[in-house]
A and B are shown apart, each in its own frame.
Chain A
Amino acid sequence: MGSNKDEVQVSYDVSNEFFRLWLDERMNYTCAVFESENQSLEAAQLNKLAILSDFAKVTPEKRVLDIGCGWGACLEYLASARSVKEAVGVTLSSAQAAEVNARKIPGVRCVESDFMKWETEEKFDALISICMLDHLCSPAEARQGKAIDIYRAYFKKCWEMTNPGAWFGLQTILRNRVPRNKKDLEDIYFCTHVIFPGGLNPRLEDILQAVNPYWEVITVKQRRRDYQRTTAEWLRRMRAHEANIRKTWGDQVFDDYDRYLSTCVRAFEAFYSSLAQYELRRLDG
């Protein structure tokens, strides 16, 4: 398996208040999609959620599952902006599940579980999953040639949890090219082992291969520059709170996240990494 519960808690449970300082007001911790030069991060995050909801063909009557729901930004968007009557989120993180359920958003509930082990009779009409797949395959498993099988098991599980006619709005970070210089190699190694232990970003060709025979790829949008801009804005906001972060959470947390976010900006600039959004249609046989 990729990231386990302890590893996910390393990534997301520093403190909700820490992340609130530098993410947008809804705590989206994934790539936004900017429509213009001057668009705010908050508006761009809503735009991202709109695109994925459109890909998933969300309507008020459809039961929607958000796989890897984070702090519930997408669930809240579905309930408020799209009038979805029943939206369920699943996350491995205790802090995130508690935060989402404490908000008591009408029609929304959050399950604390490993999605791949989650056993439920529930079936859904629409799926959204934003950068959760990046946690499924470890670097060691990828080296052993297991990546495609792991991703295919995920797409099979998604298929099994949906009704015929379902659509899926998927977003994943992508790895492209390994750096060839020492500093970038060390920085990316640091991010992979300290900030996001256990996980490895997929390659685009891995995803396109693994969706079969469960989902048809209708649309793929690459968003590399959008993620560069998103991480640059996170870095700018975090640095604006440097004194507070150092005082409250210590120098190590600030220094680690400064290095991590700086590395992200660089990785998207140099095309070591990218991001893609996918519109997937359930293959009903």
Chain B
Amino acid sequence: MSDTKDLLPLFKSVAERVDRRSFETVTRESVITDLGIDSLSMMQIVGEMETEFSIQIPDEDLVEIVTVGDLCSKVERRVG
């Protein structure tokens, strides 16, 4: 299980695995759609982060996610 203090490195490694390209310059403020991550990749990234922490984020919460930080916060809130 990963360290929950800073999920940005985890996001980067998962996104790189899913989309097979570098996300080295991404910050928590980065807008996910601006990164060229489509909805299909986004759901896979969410799924991998859920698996990492054995959590489930309700689908209705996902529509509120705009930035990388939004997604990280959703996960952080559930792992405490």
Instruction: Give A residues with C-beta under 8 Å from B.
Output: 143, 177-182, 185-186, 189
Query: Inside 8 A of B46's CB, which chain A residues have their CB?
Result: 180
CB-based contact A143/B47 at 8 Å: no
23 contacts between A and B (CB under 8 A): A143-B63, A177-B59, A178-B43, A178-B59, A178-B62, A179-B43, A179-B47, A180-B43, A180-B44, A180-B46, A180-B47, A180-B48, A180-B50, A180-B51, A181-B44, A181-B47, A182-B40, A182-B44, A185-B40, A185-B43, A185-B44, A186-B40, A189-B40
Q: Which of B15-51 contact A (CB under 8 A)?
A: 40, 43-44, 46-48, 50-51
- C-alpha gap A181/B40 in the complex (Å): 8
- C-alpha gap A180/B47 in the complex (Å): 5
Q: Which 6 A-B pairs have the closest CB atoms?
A: A180-B47, A185-B40, A178-B59, A180-B43, A178-B43, A185-B43
> What is the minimal beta-carbon distance from B78 to any residue of chain A, in angstroms?
15
Secondary structure of the B contact surface, majority rule? helix
Query: Inside 8 A of B43's CB, which chain A residues have their CB?
Result: 178-180, 185
Assuming A178-B62, A179-B43, A189-B40, what are 18 further A-B pairs, CB within 8 angstroms?
Answer: A143-B63, A177-B59, A178-B43, A178-B59, A180-B43, A180-B44, A180-B46, A180-B47, A180-B48, A180-B50, A180-B51, A181-B44, A181-B47, A182-B40, A182-B44, A185-B40, A185-B43, A186-B40
- C-alpha gap A143/B64 in the complex (Å): 11
> What is the minimal beta-carbon distance from A67 to any residue of chain B, in angstroms?
28
- C-alpha gap A180/B44 in the complex (Å): 5
> What is the minimal beta-carbon distance from A138 to any residue of chain B, in angstroms?
15
> What is the minimal beta-carbon distance from B70 to any residue of chain A, in angstroms?
17
- C-alpha gap A182/B44 in the complex (Å): 7
- C-alpha gap A189/B46 in the complex (Å): 17
> What is the minimal beta-carbon distance from B40 to any residue of chain A, in angstroms?
5
Q: Find the B residue at minimum CB distance from A178.
A: B59
- C-alpha gap A179/B50 in the complex (Å): 12
Query: Inside 8 A of A178's CB, which chain B residues have their CB?
Result: 43, 59, 62
> What is the minimal beta-carbon distance from B25 to any residue of chain A, in angstroms?
25
> What is the minimal beta-carbon distance from B3 to any residue of chain A, in angstroms?
22
Query: Inside 8 A of A179's CB, which chain B residues have their CB?
Result: 43, 47
Q: Find the B residue at minimum CB distance from A180.
A: B47
Q: Find the A residue at minimum CB distance from B48.
A: A180
Query: Inside 8 A of A181's CB, which chain B residues have their CB?
Result: 44, 47
Query: Inside 8 A of B44's CB, which chain A residues have their CB?
Result: 180-182, 185
- C-alpha gap A126/B12 in the complex (Å): 56
- C-alpha gap A180/B46 in the complex (Å): 7
Q: Find the B residue at minimum CB distance from A143.
A: B63
> What is the minimal beta-carbon distance from A193 to any residue of chain B, in angstroms?
12
Q: Give 1 or 0 for each of B47-58: 1 = CB within 8 Å of chain A CB.
A: 110110000000
Q: Find the B residue at minimum CB distance from A186.
A: B40
> What is the minimal beta-carbon distance from B6 to any residue of chain A, in angstroms?
23
- C-alpha gap A177/B60 in the complex (Å): 9
- C-alpha gap A178/B50 in the complex (Å): 13
Q: Find the B residue at minimum CB distance from A184.
A: B43
- C-alpha gap A181/B44 in the complex (Å): 5
Query: Inside 8 A of B63's CB, which chain A residues have their CB?
Result: 143
- C-alpha gap A179/B44 in the complex (Å): 8
